[in-house]
Chain A
Amino acid sequence: KAGVTQTPRYLIKTRGQQVTLSCSPISGHRSVSWYQQTPGQGLQFLFEYFSETQRNKGNFPGRFSGRQFSNSRSEMNVSTLELGDSALYLCASRVWGNTEAFFGQGTRLTVV
């Protein structure tokens, strides 16, 4: 069974630009959550989607948004990028109701 796939693996953007990250969950997993990981803050929860609806949301500004498609694939968008948005963005999928989340390799975003 294929794992969680995130694309791209690495990304360099300039301040003010926007970026879209993609996450394909494990087959059969309908819940997808997104996390930002920085050395100073650790893992921080962005949002979770299930059945194309956002179910949970962390404390991030509105520049961070996401969506989920009918095939459970999810995208995360960050608009008006700031230097502080440089981080590893991780996506995790799980069976809704099951507590074990399986993480992807992450997308390393660098904002210059």
Chain B
Amino acid sequence: KNQVEQSPQSLIILEGKNCTLQCNYTVSPFSNLRWYKQDTGRGPVSLTIMTFSENTKSNGRYTATLDADTKQSSLHITASQLSDSASYICVVRTTDSWGKFQFGAGTQVVVTP
């Protein structure tokens, strides 16, 4: 069973609207959680990183939240743009000696005009 579950699998939103992506994890011990954005045919690019003590972090129109108690994170996209069409991947890192990464399957976001 994947230790990082993302929902929804895909979503379509109108340009200018907001949306929220979810990431639930069971990875333990927890070190940090990153959200990556991957455009079609490109490599993923980091958007935000959240550590245990952080609740909210913003990067422009992207805002990530973390609830380490419930092991849930969300990524909120405000006033979506066509360029936001991409796959958003949640990645959780453990604190074991080699810092292994666990990947979610991603949420495919399509922004339509």
In contact, A99 and B49 (Cβ under 8 angstroms): yes
Q: Closest B residue to A43 by CB, please name it.
A: B103
Whether A56 contacts B98 in the complex (CB less than 8 A), given A99-B31, A99-B49, A105-B42, comes out as yes
Interface residues of B in 30-81 (CB under 8 A from A): 31-32, 34, 36, 41-46, 49
Interface residue? B100 (CB, 8 A): yes
> What count of chain B residues pass the 8 Å CB interface test?
21
Contact check, B93 vs A92: say whether CB atoms are below 8 A apart: no
Q: How far is the CB of A94 from chain B (nearest CB, A)?
A: 10
B99 within 8 A of A: yes
Contact A42 B32 (CB under 8 A): no
Q: In chain B, what residue has the closest Cβ to A103?
A: B43
A55 lies within 8 A of chain B by Cβ: yes
Q: Note all chain A residues with C-beta closer than 8 A to B89.
A: 42-43
A106 touches B43 (CB 8 A): yes
**19 A/B residue pairs, CB under 8 Å, sorted by A:** A41-B105, A42-B104, A42-B105, A43-B44, A45-B100, A45-B101, A48-B98, A90-B43, A90-B44, A99-B31, A99-B99, A100-B34, A100-B49, A103-B36, A103-B45, A104-B43, A105-B41, A105-B42, A108-B41
Q: Which B residues fall within an 8 A CB radius of A? A: 31-32, 34, 36, 41-46, 49, 89, 93, 98-101, 103-106
**6 extra A-B contacts, CB within 8 A, seeds A42-B103, A99-B34, A106-B42:** A35-B103, A42-B105, A56-B98, A99-B32, A99-B49, A99-B99
